[in-house]
Amino acid sequence: MPPESFDSLDALAAYVRDPERATAPVDIEARRLKVYADLVFNNVESLLAGTFPVTRATLGDAWRVLIRDFLREHDARTPVFTELPRELLRYLDARADAARSDPPWLRELAHYEWVELALQISDESPARIPHDPHGDLRNGVPVVSPLAWPLAYDWPVERIAPGAVPESPEPTLLLVHRHDDGSVGFHALSLLAFHLLQRLIDVPAATGDTHLRALAHEVAAPDVEAFVDAGIALLEDYRRDRIVLGTRAAG
C-alpha cells in the first residue's frame, strides 16, 4: 500500500473520531464521511451503553459528550469489542487525573457496572485451583474463588440512578460473585466480612484461624474465641455459596 494510502486512512480515522474538529479527507465525499462518522459513534455508544446503562441514564446528555471525548482523546490498548468498556474506565482514570468536571461518583459507578461484564467474560476457573473442598477452614488455608471480588467504593454506587444522585460520599462494601450458572450476584458486606475476604486474598498462605485472630486483635474483640468461631461460621457460609472454594494445606 503506497504511503499516501496510509495518510488517507489516518485522516479518515481522525475524522470519524472527531468530525467537528478534524480536517476531512479530500478524497471522500462529505455525505459518505458523515455516514462513517455516525456509524462509528453510534456503534461505540451503543456497545458502551449496554455495559453502562445506569451511567448513561444518570448522566443524560452528558453521556454522549463523554463518548465523543472518549473517541477523540483515548488511545485504546486493544481493538477487542468486549474490552471496550475497560478502555472507558482507563479513560475515566485519565480524565480524573486531568481534573475534568465529571461528577465525583462517575468513575466508581462505571466500575460497578463494568464488574458484571468482567466477571461474565472472565476465563478464570475455580476447578483449575488446587484445593480441598471439604478442608478444615480453621486450620487449613481458605481459598477464595477467583470469581468472587470484594469491592470498596467511596460512593453508594448500587443506589445511584437518575433523580437519585448522592450529594456526599458514603462508603460502600460489596461482594460480586459469578455463580456456577454464569449469573453474577451483588451482595452488601459488613466491614469485618470485607476485611476478612480481603485478607484471604492478600495473605494467601495464612490459616483461617490466623486471619481471624489477627482481625480480632485489630478490632479489639472482647471475646477472641467467640469472634473466631463466628468467623469460621461465616467462612462455612461462604464455602456453601462457592465464594470460598475450600482449603489448601498450611505451610
Which residue, among 85, 109, 94, 102, has the nearest Cα to 164 in the 3D structure? 109
pLDDT score of 198: 97
Higher pLDDT, 187 or 1: 187
Domain 3-102 has CATH 1.10.150: yes
Q: What integer pLDDT is reported at residue 6 of this predicted model?
A: 38
Burial of 32 (0-12, 13-18, 19+ CB in 10 A): exposed
pLDDT (tens digit, 9 = 90+) per residue, 127-149?
Answer: 999 999 999 999 999 999 999 99
Query: Residue 11 — pLDDT band, cuts 50, 70, 90?
Result: confident
Q: Does the pLDDT at position 4 exceed 60?
A: no
Residue 251's pLDDT is: 63
pLDDT value at residue 217? 96
> Which burial class, exposed, middle or buried, applies to 187 when counting CB atoms under 10 A from its CB (0-12, 13-18, 19+)?
middle
Question: Which pLDDT value is given to residue 202?
Answer: 96
Q: Which residues contact 76 (CB under 8 A, 6 or more apart)?
A: 83, 84, 87
Half-sphere exposure of 86 (CA within 13 A, CB side): 15
| CA atoms of 161 and 140, how far apart (whole Å) | 43
User: What CA–CA distance (Å, rounded) separates 188 from 217?
Assistant: 24
Would the pLDDT of 9 be above 70?
Answer: yes
Distance from chain centroid for Cα 202: 18
pLDDT at res. 31? 80
Provide the CATH number for the domain formed by 132-248 in this structure: 3.90.930.50
The arithmetic mean of pLDDT across residues 139-167, rounded, is 96
Query: Rounded to two decimals, what is the model's pTM?
Result: 0.89
Give the mean pLDDT of 196-223: 96
Round to whole Å and give the CA distance between 163 and 152: 24
- Which pLDDT belongs to residue 7? 56
Kindly list the domain boundaries of the chain, sorted by start residue. Answer: 3-102, 132-248
Q: What is the mean pLDDT of residues 164-186?
A: 95
Q: How far apart are alpha carbons 143 and 178 in whole angstroms?
A: 16
Mean pLDDT in residue range 177-190 = 94
Q: How large is the average pLDDT for residues 77-82?
A: 83
Is 70 exceeded by the pLDDT of residue 187? yes
Q: What's the pLDDT at 8? A: 67
User: Looking at residues 196-203, what average pLDDT do you find?
Assistant: 96
Mean pLDDT of the region 141-167 = 96
Cell of 83: 474490552
Reported as a pLDDT band with limits 50, 70 and 90, residue 5 is very low
Q: Read off the pLDDT of residues 12-68 as tens digits, 9 standing for 90 and up.
A: 777 778 777 767 777 777 788 888 888 989 999 999 999 999 999 999 999 999 999
